[in-house]
Chain A
């Protein structure tokens, strides 16, 4: 198992390398002179040239890329000229908040999605199935930012059950209870779409499995129907559900952008949107590459989970 994990980690290196090339290439597409963008249109040509030299922008692209990559590997993601702060510090701070939000949402959507899918499949064409199918369709069709706004309107403004925005109260204790109260609405809003997608897939995976011969064997043994569904069928269906969980984790992680904006959550998505609007390119670059790298690593975790579940996978 350790060897398998090591092998998967090694295979991630070319992917991470490719990601860095893509991000660098996209940023190299930026029209105009970055130094000019930083200094403003009143800058003298000498100042622009000096800043370009400082930033290494006068060198060929390939050389620029390797300098940039080397710096990143040493933990130097550059400096955000807007915040006047090292990019990595800002990214790490913001990523913590995103991780709390996206992590909670991911757990929610995985749990709710699988349960909904299993219940739906077990009652195929029954009322529970029809109800779940309709709610799921609604869930995957509603824009998460609109849903978030409607949740604020209903639960925060009208019913006053939960706070409308932010991660912490402005005044008062920053304890777990306060966090949970602030987390509830955004985490729910973020999980809805992924829950729908997972529920759909879980349903069809279950229906596929319930036709298999080993399900008939379990029934012939006299295993209770609950056991047949939740132990035998779900276990086998998980083999095709887990890869989808990996893909959905990516959607949750990046979909957090909208929710963070709607709920004023101090995460990395909101940071990216602000940075884009302010043309703070280094911050965008650092944030994107950091999140993408985390996602690649998370997918390794998914693969390992898969190999733990399925003994037929050679590790």
Chain B
């Protein structure tokens, strides 16, 4: 039902449906219409132009009424096309179900045969069949149906294989049902929708192909004409009397186009990815809402986020992924952002350089200042020159973040050539230097590797090397060690730490792991449901967490040699950011929460170098126990 509603909302598909309905209706009605007989020749009235007396569309080379022939021809073309589709679907589906249901050898033999048929160029096979059977409309129908059988057989087989191993089929088999009954009562009802969709997308082709065979003189034989043979007969008079060609040609075009529109509409309505917007292309830079309120800039820090707000607008829902985050990082400093998945930490990081996929992402408020310049709302061209050159990213999972089809060396070189020209030799030298810098052994050979030829740790180092390529001022590392095992993780962390000391880099390090934060970060910000709940020097927070969430998060980390401390999972789940409760977002999962926590805005209170968003903070003594 919902699919039908979607189809109705797709105006083009609806148009196709209406046109198609009209054509079919008229074709069905043709025998009852007051039309001249289509096959009676009247040579004294040959080639009457359209809008003549008594012949609205004119007459053809034998003086036959074109309107009447068009209607009867349409009727015939539609009938043949639908019949061919029905035959191909029935036989193809039967073959596909048998192959998919029985599997094994039966499947193998049948599908090899289907593959052979598909090795033929499509129309060629139809020609061969017509050649054997002889010209004629029924033979053309058989030929077109036959060449489409492999298509149906293959599709339906795929679906059947999926169904044949489902529990309900096993249950039917165990209850002693015969194979034939299982196929008819369990498999077929599940396959029929697929057959219908496949038919709706191919019936247009079949009408075209039968018209084509008739056009070549291999289909319907005179005096009876379908649209194709009308066109074929009119071809001789194309130059002198083009209307006799244009009339049937346009009719074929209208019919096939209506069917295609309808088929596209059905396909789109059934594609879940279109509904969710998962096939939207992300723009080069995240959109910025015109209503955004920029914030004033701060001194001394190199990168400052002020009340940054990023949302995802999907259909009529609004997900507040980042709900007013303020952060800053100084040269040579490492700031950690920690939180569960879905807390908005990655979106915060991606918002800095406008890399949040948009649509559906949109920055609705706040500012990001880099060396005094507001990056939110900066034109794309400016943003591009800063990306990678001033602020570079290291992403999680380098399997997916490196281009699979380019050599890592070329991807490194590109990071540089995106900002300044570089000769081939120089680029290669630079790439090897970079791989050396991240301690990849045998760098001069490794530059020629493709990403899939490297291990996960190696790929992550390539990701880091790429971030270092232009000697940036700030590196934003989004869970760069999550996908790695512990020893490799430790190596990567010490590598980052060295780079920070040597080059005076500012690092924003995103993670969900307090152990990692303790090793690397000077300061840490804890995020929950798109907001910072606690912030301060790493030591201080590790020693004495004040927000209950921070405390619970730290209790989740197992400590080596820490004895029998109980590992506490936090009960419940993070809230959905499209439906945030008023007050503290953590309140539903917090055992200290009171009624006041659930009403009104709770501010982020700054005390010294620490900040806290909580009405009932954890005290020193509690934290120790």
Contact = CB atoms under 8 A, between A and B. Distances in A.
Interface of A: 15, 18-19, 21-23, 26-27, 29-30, 121-122, 124, 137-138, 140-143, 145-146, 149-150, 152-153, 157, 204, 206-208, 210-225, 227-228, 232, 235-236, 239, 250-251, 253-255, 257-258, 261-262, 272-273, 275-277, 279, 281, 284, 288, 291-292, 295-296, 299, 309-312
A122 B282 CA distance: 9
Contacts of B252: 143, 146
B384 A224 contact: yes
Contacts of A121: 281
A276 B466 contact: no
Contacts of A258: 212, 215-216
Nearest to A268: B124
Given A220-B355, A261-B216, A272-B127, A292 B120 contact: yes
Contacts of B242: 153
A251 B415 CA distance: 42
Contacts of A227: 414, 418
B388 A26 contact: no
Nearest to B466: A221
Contacts of B128: 23, 26-27, 284, 288
Given A19-B120, A26-B128, A210-B282, 20 more contacts: A18-B113, A121-B281, A122-B281, A143-B208, A146-B249, A149-B249, A150-B246, A204-B279, A208-B279, A212-B400, A216-B395, A219-B387, A224-B384, A255-B123, A261-B215, A288-B128, A292-B120, A292-B121, A292-B124, A311-B405
B231 A140 contact: no
B357 to A, nearest CB: 7
Nearest to A253: B121
B402 A217 contact: yes
B272 interface: no
Given A236-B405, A251-B121, A220 B387 contact: yes
Interface stretch (B131-139, B168-176, B485-493, B517-525): B131-139
Given A26-B132, A149-B235, A253-B121, A273 B388 contact: no
Nearest to B133: A29
Given A153-B238, A262-B235, A222 B130 contact: no
Contact of B403 (A22, A143, A214, A276): A214
- Chain B, interface size category, equals 35 or more
A204 B273 CA distance: 12
B119 A223 contact: no
A254 B124 CA distance: 6
B212 A207 contact: no
A274 B264 CA distance: 37
Contacts, number: 228
Given A213-B401, A214-B403, A220-B353, A141 B204 contact: yes
Nearest to B129: A26
Contacts of B127: 254, 257, 272-273, 276, 284, 288
A232 B418 CA distance: 13
Contact of A222 (B115, B388, B400): B388
B78 interface: no
Contact of A277 (B117, B135, B392): B135
B284 A250 contact: no
Contacts of A232: 403
A132 to B, nearest CB: 14
Contacts of B385: 222
A116 B414 CA distance: 26
B131 A292 contact: no
Nearest to A299: B119
B131 A276 contact: yes
B402 A214 contact: yes
B355 A216 contact: yes
B211 interface: yes
A220 B406 contact: no
Contacts of B350: 216
B135 A276 contact: yes
Interface stretch (B255-263, B539-547, B550-558, B614-622): B255-263
A273 B414 contact: no
Contact of B119 (A18, A273, A284): A18
Contact of B121 (A141, A146, A291): A291
A258 B124 CA distance: 11
Contacts of B122: 250-251, 254
Given A22-B117, A254-B124, A222 B405 contact: no
